[in-house]
Amino acid sequence: MGSQTILDLIASTMVFGSLLLMMLRINVTQSETIQMYQGDLLVQQNLVEVTRLLEYDFKKIGYCKDPTKIPDPSDAIRYADSLKIKFYTDFPTTDDPQGDGQLDSLTYYVGPASEASATPNPNDKLLYRVENDATPVGVNLGVTEFELKYYDTFRDQIASPVSNCGLIQYMQITIQVENLAAADSLLGTFASSEQAYQKAYWRQVRLVAKNLRNR
Amino acid sequence: MGLGQTLLTILALVLMGRVVISTNTTTLDAGFTKDMAEYRISATSLGTSMLEQSSAMAFDEATVDSGTTNASSLTVAASFGADATESSEELYDDIDDYHNFTKIDSLEHSAIFKTTVSVTYVTVSGSDVVATTTRSFSKQVTVDITSDYLVDYSVTPAQPETLRFKQIFSYWFFR
């Protein structure tokens, strides 16, 4: 084997090695990117689901198929603070999507972040939706911020917790959802306590329940 | 290395470069799609918020403090917009005050959005709901959300995208 052949072999090995390294690098980057995008998609889907559920339920504050069951709409909200709300509504049934005409109570609140310590994300909290006196069961959709603000008919903010729920005319809901586990590695390197989790943000300004205005 | 081998090596590198560029393009396209979805979610929250905000107002200046059964007492379409005394949004008291209202807003971790509102009377013509200048007991609020970041990349060349939300408010009274 001549020296020229050896040089050819070395050169071709280097070229092959370079190409292989490039392929591997592309593969790793592509996998990370796809993982990040899928994580982001999951976050967005969770946010849309949460807001869809909240909007549906909150729109029906004070609603009852039998209006005589709740003659005074100002009694519709039973408790309200920045993290928790309890109100009267009428759940749809399989027989009647408009409800059974019996008053139900619905409570929304978020628990402390320590409840969801099993997930890598230290900020996520369980979101509770409690129907009547059912046992509270929280779902972890990655909610890291859930804030309710209340306004009276003059559009002035009411201090939380609200002492007179009958004054509430509008609400502002702020929700932030983060990925439960997948950190956004492409955003940079962070300490474990400051990991940049993929997040999506929703702020529903002035959600108005029609039945609250019916007075 | 012979000429043939050199050419083969160059060809391999060109092919490799092509694959890298193609992969990058695909990744960037997916990134744009993801970002657009995020911006659209934010824009939707702003659009529905604006509709909610206007829904909390009285139907017309004439119905702020009392009811009316006569459409001719309603505000004429040409006078839609903030009244002389309503210098800020906080002072708006009826739906058509939002006509030609614009607002620059932003959400955390998102873009800067411009909200533009227009209000018209609507009536039913055949099976369609159409805008009219004739006073009626139905008003349509149209909210347009635009942003420098809301761009439709599915067309060539990419075009600015506007998210439009419409809702019809009718005047009714009970209880």
Digit-coded pLDDT (tens) for B132-175: 999 999 999 999 999 998 888 778 888 889 999 999 999 876 54
Mean pLDDT of B79-88: 88
Q: Do A201 and B107 touch (CB under 8 A)?
A: yes
Residue B47 falls within a domain, yes or no? yes
Residue B127 falls within a domain, yes or no? yes
ipTM: 0.72
- What is the chain B residue with the closest CA to A170? B56
Q: Do A40 and B34 touch (CB under 8 A)?
A: yes
Q: Do A201 and B42 touch (CB under 8 A)?
A: yes
Nearest to B41 among A34, A37, A47 (CB): A47
Of the two residues B71 and B174, the one the predictor is more confident about is B71
What does the pLDDT read at residue A75? 85
Chain A residues in contact with B51 by the CB 8 A cut-off are: none
- What is the chain A residue with the closest CA to B16? A19
Residue B52 falls within a domain, yes or no? yes
What does the pLDDT read at residue A172? 87
Per-position DSSP letters for A131-161, written without gaps between them: ETTPPP-EEEEEEEEEEEEEE-TTSPEEPSS
Test the B interface: residue of A41, A58, A204 with most B CBs within 10 Å: A204
B3 touches chain A (CB under 8 A): no
What does the pLDDT read at residue B139? 94
B164 touches chain A (CB under 8 A): no
| Percent of chain B residues topping a pLDDT of 70 | 97
Mean pLDDT of B5-22: 86
Amino acid at position A66, single letter: D
Amino acid at position A210, single letter: K
Domain of A185, in residue numbers: 46-207
Mean pLDDT of B100-117: 87
A164-201 burial: b if 16+ Cβ within 10 Å, else e:
ebebbbbbbbbbbbbbbebbbeeeeeeeeeebebbbbb
Two tokens, residue B108: 């955390």
Mean pLDDT of B7-36: 86
Residue A20 falls within a domain, yes or no? no
Amino acid at position A21, single letter: L
Say if residues B138 and B121 touch (Cβ distance below 8 Å).
yes
Q: Count of domains in chain B?
A: 1
Helices marked H in chain A: 3-59, 210-213
Say if residues A61 and A208 touch (Cβ distance below 8 Å).
no
Residue B137 C-alpha, separation from nearest chain A C-alpha, in angstroms: 18
In whole angstroms, give the CA distance from residue B123 to residue A200. 39
Closest CA to A54 of A141, A113, A123, A119: A141
In whole angstroms, give the CA distance from residue B49 to residue B55. 10
What does the pLDDT read at residue B80? 93
| Mean predicted lDDT score pLDDT of chain B | 87
Mean pLDDT of B38-67: 87
Residue A203 falls within a domain, yes or no? yes
What does the pLDDT read at residue A185? 54
Nearest to B12 among A19, A40, A47 (CB): A19
What does the pLDDT read at residue A215? 42
Residue B144 falls within a domain, yes or no? yes
What does the pLDDT read at residue A194? 53
Q: Do B20 and A19 touch (CB under 8 A)?
A: no
What does the pLDDT read at residue B175? 44
- Three-class DSSP category at A13: helix
In whole angstroms, give the CA distance from residue B136 to residue B120. 10
Residue B52 C-alpha, separation from nearest chain A C-alpha, in angstroms: 6
Residue A169 falls within a domain, yes or no? yes
Count CB neighbours of A71 within 10 A. 9
Nearest to B55 among A7, A15, A208 (CB): A208
Say if residues A180 and A121 touch (Cβ distance below 8 Å).
yes
Say if residues B64 and B94 touch (Cβ distance below 8 Å).
yes
The yes-or-no verdict on residue B77 having pLDDT over 80 is yes
Residue A39 falls within a domain, yes or no? no
B66-91 burial: b if 16+ Cβ within 10 Å, else e:
eeeeeeeebbebeebebeeeeeeeee
Residue A71 falls within a domain, yes or no? yes
Residue B134 C-alpha, separation from nearest chain A C-alpha, in angstroms: 27
Residue B50 falls within a domain, yes or no? yes
* B contact residues 63-92, partner A, Cβ 8 Å cutoff: 90
Q: Do B38 and A44 touch (CB under 8 A)?
A: yes
Radius of gyration of chain B measured on its C-alpha atoms: 26
Q: At what angle do helices B3-55 and A3-59 cross, to 10 degrees?
A: 10
Helices marked H in B56-141: none
- What is the chain B residue with the closest CA to A72? B175
Q: Count of domains in chain A?
A: 1
Nearest to A170 among B20, B34, B56 (CB): B56
Residue A118 falls within a domain, yes or no? yes
Residue pLDDT tens, chain A, 215 long? 688 888 888 888 888 898 889 889 888 888 888 888 888 888 888 888 888 888 889 888 888 888 888 877 788 899 999 999 999 999 988 888 888 889 999 999 998 888 888 888 888 899 999 999 888 888 888 888 899 999 887 778 999 899 998 888 888 888 888 888 766 555 555 555 455 777 777 777 667 666 666 44
- What is the chain A residue with the closest CA to B47? A204
Residue A59 falls within a domain, yes or no? yes
Domain of B81, in residue numbers: 3-170
What does the pLDDT read at residue A205? 64
Radius of gyration of chain A measured on its C-alpha atoms: 26
Mean pLDDT of B14-39: 87
Burial of B124 (0-12, 13-18, 19+ CB in 10 A): exposed
Residue A32 falls within a domain, yes or no? no
Q: pTM to 2 decimals?
A: 0.79
